[in-house]
């Protein structure tokens, strides 16, 4: 009976939030309490000015401490410097401080913070502590779910430091940035839930942008995504990142994303 109740809770959770499990951004919702999410994000991003791709690997582990607080640890590896090596890692926390729930909708807001370290060469003006820069990021995110449509937006401040004593942050680059995102997710299938084992199919469109505070240089990317959720527990995302506008140097601005995610629910029995 207890296992059945856990499955029912998972089913209700999945119905309400499957279309707000975004690829590029975190919504205001958290990993369920006492649950562990294991994530492996892989990307193949086109190098600027030449016909070649960089490969990036980012494994992550997330844990829901309670319904309002979650934590995450990430690792970074890539072949951007011509050899596939581990480059650094990150720690992240998100606190949901507002929640308004209705039968067919909800609205949530959360604050988040992240610190990353990295030992790779700094070779772009874009600040990206998720894989390229040592630094921190702090911000706020709001998510609205209306039936099968989810809309999420975030605003954050990001600061870059020297990666190492040998790989310093260039003095001619701006070291602080404002990041902004806008994401849309729509549940396309199933039209009606009849089983816990039904596959969910979500279509998403995410916009990811940044402005360097010191000089005003900026970029804006669009990321269409198709997402599959299996057995209410496993998730597969396929996406493509396309640069819309940019006035800054970037080592990789376009390419493919392949993401695998699995949730272990109710670890405390």
* pLDDT mean values, one per 10 residues, the chain (269 residues): 41 48 94 95 88 93 96 95 92 97 91 97 95 97 95 98 95 97 96 84 97 98 97 95 96 94 88
* Amino acid 2: pLDDT: 47
Q: How many CB atoms lie within 10 A of CB 10?
A: 19
Rounded to 5 degrees, φ, ψ at 9 are -65, -45
What is Dmax (Cα atoms) for the chain? 63
* Amino acid 16: pLDDT: 45
* Amino acid 200: pLDDT: 94
Asked if 249 contacts 124 with a C-beta cutoff of 8 angstroms, the reply is yes
* Amino acid 194: pLDDT: 80
* Amino acid 205: pLDDT: 98
Of the candidates 173, 177, 194, the one whose C-alpha atom is nearest the C-alpha of residue 123 is 173
* Amino acid 87: pLDDT: 95
* Amino acid 80: pLDDT: 84
* Amino acid 151: pLDDT: 97
Give CA–CA dist 86/56, Å, rounded.
Answer: 10
- Work out the end-to-end distance of the chain between its first and last CA atoms, rounded to an integer number of angstroms: 14
CA distances from 34 to 68, 92, 153, 170, 261 (A): 11, 17, 26, 42, 17
Rounded to 5 degrees, φ, ψ at 113 are -145, 150
Domains of the chain listed by start with CATH number? 2-264 (2.40.160.40)
């Amino acid at each position: 009976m207890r296992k059945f109740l856990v499955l029912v809770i998972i089913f209700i959770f999945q119905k309400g939030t499957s279309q707000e499990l975004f690829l590029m951004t975190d919504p205001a919702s958290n990993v369920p309490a006492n649950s562990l999410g294991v994530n492996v994000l892989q990307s193949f991003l086109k190098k600027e000015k030449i016909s070649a791709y960089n490969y990036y690997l980012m494994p992550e582990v997330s844990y829901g401490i309670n319904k309002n607080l979650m934590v995450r640890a990430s690792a970074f590896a890539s072949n951007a410097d011509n050899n596939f090596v581990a480059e650094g890692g990150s720690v992240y926390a998100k606190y949901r401080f507002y929640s308004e729930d209705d039968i067919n909708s909800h609205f949530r807001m959360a604050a988040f913070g992240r610190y990353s370290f990295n030992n790779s060469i700094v070779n772009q003006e874009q600040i990206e502590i998720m894989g390229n820069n040592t630094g921190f990021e702090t911000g706020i995110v709001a998510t609205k779910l209306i039936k099968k449509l989810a809309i999420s937006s975030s605003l954050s401040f990001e600061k870059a430091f020297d990666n190492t004593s040998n790989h310093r942050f260039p003095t001619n680059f701006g070291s602080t940035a404002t990041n902004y995102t806008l994401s849309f997710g729509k549940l396309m299938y199933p039209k009606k839930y009849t089983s816990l084992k039904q596959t969910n199919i979500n279509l998403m469109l995410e916009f990811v942008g940044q402005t360097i505070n010191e000089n005003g240089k900026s970029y804006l990317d669009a990321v269409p995504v198709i997402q599959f959720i299996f057995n209410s527990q496993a998730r597969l995302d396929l996406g493509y990142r396309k640069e819309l506008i940019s006035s800054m140097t970037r080592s990789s601005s376009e390419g493919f994303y392949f993401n695998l995610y699995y949730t272990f629910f109710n670890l405390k029995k």
